[in-house]
Amino acid sequence: MRSLDETDLRILELLADDARRPFSDISDEVGLSAPAVSDRIDRLREEGVIRRFTVDVDRSTLSGGTPVLVRLSVRPEFVSDVRDALREADPVEHLFVTVDGDVTFHARLDGGSIRVELDDLVDLSTVREYDVSLVESAEWTPTVNGTGFALECAECGNTVTSEGERARIGGTLYHFCCSSCLGRFQTRYDRMEAGARSDN
């Protein structure tokens, strides 16, 4: 697997600024032809660096709801359940889970009883305590530069270097830091696949 270079990072930066930017504009910025830019973007998508192109909607220009920032102190055994419930909830715009199990999210609530609305989003019996703050303004400015950029091993979570490996398993491209992680992942996948076939 080839590591990302400065041109890749600049392309990502330009796309983060405007995902609809034409390849010809990007090519002028990075000094490549438009087909070469297209090839690089295709490779970044194939490797999972770019997952999707999306729209950044300024919800403050649309009607509906009071913007709030909510911090939940979740009982450890329920962190995954709470995260999954909030991930699927329409009012939730941004969701963060800390290593100590706190869940923080930005949402637009209807303005009724905060407790009732929170209980509609997540089972409050799984939460030790919560804090709700009204949001005056919010900005979301993803950046490519400023941090070390690296792919994560699908098996162990370590950084994948240029010596790493990648493999298409079940139609999805995965990245691994070493052949051992690739082998463990493939073995576990094959076992699950065999189990699913035997259940049918």
Domains of the chain, residue spans: 1-49, 61-134, 150-200
Euclidean distance between CA atoms 187 and 182, whole angstroms: 9
The string of DSSP letters for 36-77 reads HHHHHHHHHHHTTS---------GGGS---EEEEEEEEE-GG
* Whether the predicted pLDDT of 12 surpasses 70: yes
Q: Phi-psi category of 31—alpha, beta or left, where left has phi over 0 and alpha has psi -120 to 50?
A: left
Tell which wins on pLDDT, 160 or 31.
Answer: 31
* Whether the predicted pLDDT of 2 surpasses 60: no
Stretch 33-54: mean pLDDT: 86
Query: Which CATH fold would you assign to the domain 1-49?
Result: Arc Repressor Mutant, subunit A (1.10.10)
Residue 195's pLDDT band, with cuts at 50, 70 and 90, is: confident
* Whether the predicted pLDDT of 1 surpasses 50: no
pLDDT at residue number 135: 84
- Could you count the other beta carbons within 10 Å of the beta carbon of residue 168? 9
Query: Which CATH fold would you assign to the domain 61-134?
Result: Alpha-Beta Plaits (3.30.70)
- CATH architecture entry for 150-200: Roll (2.30)
Would the CATH topology of 1-49 be identical to that of 61-134?
no
What pLDDT digit, counting tens, does each position of 127-171 carry?
999 998 888 877 766 666 555 556 778 888 888 877 788 888 887
Burial class of residue 169, CB neighbours in 10 A (0-12, 13-18, 19+): middle
Stretch 104-128: mean pLDDT: 85
* Whether the predicted pLDDT of 97 surpasses 50: yes
Euclidean distance between CA atoms 57 and 44, whole angstroms: 24
What pLDDT digit, counting tens, does each position of 46-82 carry?
887 887 776 665 555 554 678 889 999 999 999 999 9
* DSSP-derived 3-state class of residue 19: coil
pLDDT at residue number 63: 46
